[in-house]
Amino acid sequence: MVKQTQTININFTGGIISPGYLLSVLEIAAAARVTEVRFSLRQQLLLEVPVKYLDEFEESCALRKIVCHPYGAVPNITSSYPGAGIFITDSWLSEGIYKDVFDMFDYMPALKINICDSRQTFTPFFSGHINWIAAGPAHYWHLFIRFPKSSRLFAWPSLVYTNNIGQLSYCIESILAANENISNENLYALVKEKLDYADSNLSSELELPPFHLPYYEGFNKDNNSWWLGIYRRDEGFPVPFLINLCTICLETKTGQLYVTSWKSLIIRHIAPAHRKLWDYLLGKYGINVRHAANELNWLVEDNNEDGLVIKRHIIRHFDSADVRTYGLCFGVRMNPGSNHFGSIVISKQESKNKSRLKGLQRYDILYTADFNPNSGNLVPYRTGVAKEHLGPYITSLCRHFYESNATTDPLLHYVAGKQAVTGAAPTGRQIHQCPHCFTVYDEATGDPEQDVSAGTPFSELPSGYSCSLCGAPGADFIITNTASLGWLADAQD
């Protein structure tokens, strides 16, 4: 079948958008019969341009000096800039320094580059190939290299001064392009040989902050003004809506828009007198800005409808089971080899029989050992899971996240202290875990893959029951936690 559209991306360095520039793009897109656009994981604008209007679109972009590329040809420089002053405060990395860093890139990077504040968790740290993360001392940066086509991460042995970010990034790109399988030590030695740059001794390793995704949608107070976050459930933004949005920005002298790594838009510095314009615009196009938090903490590959289907399926289960997901985020990986951000990642298995029947498709559920999505080391939780069983298993993994953190919960320390005084003993349902691969058996969920129904106590499992992931016998399982809500309530009385 002949392809009817061509995916085009337009890069917005660091996620910063000029409303006037975006308006020009949208007018060209509308003339090329584009009715909807999307934003990407790397803070780009994505357009599906009909092939028969592609030449006209590209010529119009060239006339207006708008740089566009086929999707994936030129990765964007992403940053945590959209959260500066909103989710990130009291940092030496100001908006002005971000822009100074962006200006250092006088070449078009061929690799993915991330520029992030170390105190935030709104933008992924290591999703780029060259990852710059602000250090504690002002104007110094940690550098992490994630080698192309691999998950190998190399922490640079020294801190790098701000003024050298651009030239050092270029030098690293050049070396990696010529030496595909270069070792960490050789890369560092070659860079030191080719480039004289200012650095400082690394006195301490980067400490990843605990993950917390701020609520990035809706109207929010910002000193004497407002900021507005706009998220779209299907990721699509109607072109007429965005044209009107840009027009309001220009009329109210709003100089910048921001696109986030969560494929959403942020408009800042909305004066109270102008709030009614934004309310009217959202109402005119039926744009909802109060989605549940458990729907906002997902990252799905760009332009991937199958991934969105999996996301919606699991969210429906979350809603029906009233599942708490605070402190977690989820990634859906449908294409092999893609590097994805998430505390919990649902990864589509490569089909061995090439069957087109989606009912036969199976998925792996993985998670980071500490549930911090930035740590990146994924551990298998379940493999070969059918779509209809994803919800119950991920629910059980969410529960495991809270139970594994219970030992550091100050409330539980309080409970333990009170129990020691009163002599009360904890009661409640038992959670069993495989000590070899950490797979959890929760009687509330059961094990649908092995025909064990929900509500089956561990003591009543079949004699031959084994871990569905590593095959360890059920006798090896250990009790991981016996805390219950009733115990907590009693302890606080």
DSSP for 131-172 reads: EEEE-SSTTEEEEEEE-TTS--EEE-SEEEEGGGHHHHHHHH
Is pLDDT above 50 for 262? yes
Helix pair angle (275-284, 239-251), 10° resolution: 170
Confidence of residue 413 (pLDDT cuts 50, 70, 90): low
pLDDT recorded at residue 377: 84
Lowest mean pLDDT among 114-128, 177-191, 303-317, 454-468: 454-468
- Conformational region of residue 383, where left means phi above 0, alpha means psi within -120 to 50, and beta covers everything else: beta
Mean pLDDT across 467-493: 59
Q: Is the pLDDT of residue 493 over 80?
A: no
Structure tokens at 440: 């959890």
User: pLDDT tier at 423 (50, 70, 90 boundaries)?
Assistant: very low
Return the structure tokens found at 230. Answer: 């706009």
Distance CA 309, CA 311 (A): 5
d(CA 66, CA 21): 8
Separation between Cα atoms, residue 343 and residue 120, nearest integer Å: 16
State which amino acid sits at residue 61. Answer: C
- What would you report as the CA-atom Rg of the chain, rounded to the nearest whole angstrom? 25
Q: Is the pLDDT of residue 297 over 90?
A: yes
Q: What pLDDT does 352 receive?
A: 63
Least confident of 8-17, 296-305, 322-331, 429-438: 429-438
Position 425 scores a pLDDT of 41
- Count CA atoms closer than 13 A to 12's CA, side-chain side: 28
| Distances, alpha carbon 226 to alpha carbons 162, 263, 402, in Å | 32, 20, 34
357: pLDDT strictly greater than 80: no
- Domains of the chain (ranges plus CATH)? 88-201 (no CATH), 294-395 (no CATH), 407-492 (2.20.28.10)
pLDDT at 64: 95
CA quadruple 92, 341, 371, 330: dihedral sign: positive
- Indicate if the pLDDT at residue 422 is higher than 50: no
As a whole-number percent, the residues of the chain with pLDDT over 90 amount to 73
Which token pair is 90?
A: 């009291």
Q: Which of 49-63, 356-370, 465-479 has the highest mean pLDDT?
A: 49-63
Q: How high is the pLDDT of residue 431?
A: 76
pTM of the complete model beyond 0.85? no
pLDDT at 426 over 80: no
For residue 459, the model assigns a pLDDT of 87
Q: What average pLDDT does range 341-366 have in this prediction?
A: 83
pLDDT, greater one: 1 or 151: 151
pLDDT higher at 337 or 182: 182
Please report the pLDDT score of residue 448 as a whole number.
82
3-state secondary structure of 355: coil
- The answer, yes or no, to whether residue 415 has pLDDT greater than 50, is no
CB atoms within 10 A of CB 225: 13
Question: What confidence tens digit (pLDDT) does each residue in 79-106 have?
Answer: 999 999 999 888 999 999 999 999 999 9
**How far are the Cα atoms of 282, 304, 459, 485 from residue 430, in angstroms, in the given order?**
48, 39, 10, 13
- Per-residue pLDDT tens over the stretch 203-245: 889 999 999 999 999 999 988 999 999 999 999 999 999 999 9
pLDDT given at position 442: 82
- DSSP states of 431-473 as a string? EEE-TTT--EEETTT-BGGGTB-TT--GGGS-TT-B-TTT--B
pLDDT digits (tens, 9 = 90+) for 301-328: 999 999 999 999 999 999 999 999 999 9
- Is 424 a residue whose pLDDT tops 50? no
Place of tokens 């919960």: 409
Separation between Cα atoms, residue 353 and residue 153, nearest integer Å = 33
Is the per-residue pLDDT at 475 higher than 50?
yes
Q: What is the pLDDT of residue 189?
A: 96
Residue 29 backbone phi and psi in degrees, to 5: -65, -45
Token pair, residue 403, equals 């139970």
Note the pLDDT tens digit of each residue in 282-293: 999 999 998 999
CA distance 473 to 111: 46
Does residue 492 have a pLDDT over 50? no
Looking at the DSSP bridge assignments, the partners of residue 113 are: 77, 130
Instruction: List the structure tokens of 252.
Output: 């109210």
